[in-house]
Structures are given as C-alpha cells and as structure tokens.
Amino acid sequence: MFDDRPNRADEVVLTGRSNVGKSTLMRELTGHSFETGGKPGVTRSPNSYDWASDDFMITDLPGFGFMSGVPEEVREEIKTEVVQYIERHADDILVAILVVDGKSVIDIIDRHSGEGEIPHDVEMFHFLQELDIPTVVAVNKMDKVDDRDERLNDLCDRLGIYPPWKQWQETIAPITAKKGSIEPLNDAVRHHLEAQKRDDLKKFF
C-alpha cells in the first residue's frame, strides 16, 4: 500500500491522528487539493506532492488512531505502515509535521493515559525524536480554542517538554489550516531547513 513513493531525495511528512486536518493543511502548503472527508480515515495511503524542478516532496501520511466504521485491525495495520514508512525513509525526511487538534488533543491524550498506555500523539512525537527527525507539532483548529496559552502549555507538559510553549516555537506551531493561518508552522519548518543548510527549500513554506 505504501510502496509507490515518488523518486524524490528529500521529504517533509505530515502525520497525526485521523480527522485533525492534515489534508487541509496539505492543501494550504501545496496549493493542491487532496481528497478530504468529513469522516476519519479517508486518506488510506500516502499523498505525495512534488515539484518537477526540485528533488523534494511533501507527503501526507494516513491518519492513525480511532476511525469510526474502521475495524481495529485495519487501524493497527495503518499505524504500523505509517511507522514503517517513517523508519524506512528517516534519512530522507528533513522535517516531520505532527498535526494535532488543538481543541481536543489534551482530552484525547488524558483519556488514553492509563496504566502502561502511551497515547498515540505522545508516542509519535517521541518516536520521531528517537529517529532524530526534526519535528514540529502543528496545533490545528486554534480558532476554536479560548484558553490558547494554557492549552499549548498543557500540550508541552504532555509531550514531556517544559512549558511555557513560547520557548518552543520551533516545535509548537498554533495554526488554523482551514483559514489559511499557518505562518507559525512555516516559520518553524524554515528554521529546521535552515539548520540543515537547506535554504533552497524554504521557498515552499
């Protein structure tokens, strides 16, 4: 399912739970429409978008976690494939964008923080860090959040990085993709590209 990766050397990936707005963000970043659905799990295989003149692409990976109407074994299979894709291409991934829903992420993390259970978002964040992939957490749908700073500080706390969030602006990017408000994310991605001496790719963000 994940084997038809375009032949591009460098990549930025979007990953995260189902229904957090990855495909909408992908559209904002590329100016190209991908199938988005009101129900979770519409994207079942990676959507890559590349530019003919550059050896680079942006990839929207399928969402993981709960999807209504999708059997658990299929959900687990998708998550495994996402993890394996990232592992396989870790050396080519310049930046990973972990997209979360600003309105519900804290509740979801806390609900899945039982004994011996690591929530998907936290697990993915640490997994990307273990692979040494520069990671930006795009906290989407912030237009629906009232207690913005408190919510972002709580997220830092859950991810194991010390609040206040404002000291992590290369890592935590509050956005509203649907309204085209993604500048904090672009800034953070450009920071990581600069650090890797890839100024040539900053024009995409």
Domain at 157, CATH number: 3.40.50.300
Region 118-129: what's the mean pLDDT? 91
1 domain-assigned:
no
Region 51-71: what's the mean pLDDT? 82
Number of domains composing the chain: 1
3 domain-assigned:
no
CA of 63: how far to CAs of 38, 51, 126, 144, in Å?
13, 24, 17, 21
**Residue 67 neighbours by CB under 8 Å, 6+ apart:** 18, 19, 39, 40, 41, 75
pLDDT of residue 38: 47
More confident residue, 54 or 139: 139
17 domain-assigned:
yes
Percent of the chain at pLDDT above 90?
Answer: 66
pLDDT of residue 101: 96
pTM over 0.75: yes
Is the dihedral angle over the CA atoms 89, 201, 63, 175 positive or is it negative? Answer: positive
pLDDT of residue 1: 53
164 domain-assigned:
yes
85 domain-assigned:
yes
Region 13-28: what's the mean pLDDT? 92
More confident residue, 42 or 200: 200
Task: Tell me if residue 29 falls in helix, strand or coil.
Answer: helix
39 domain-assigned:
yes
- Check whether 91 has a pLDDT greater than 90: yes
What DSSP designation does 138 have?
E
51 domain-assigned:
yes
107 domain-assigned:
yes
State the residue range of the domain holding 93. Answer: 10-197
What DSSP designation does 61 have?
P
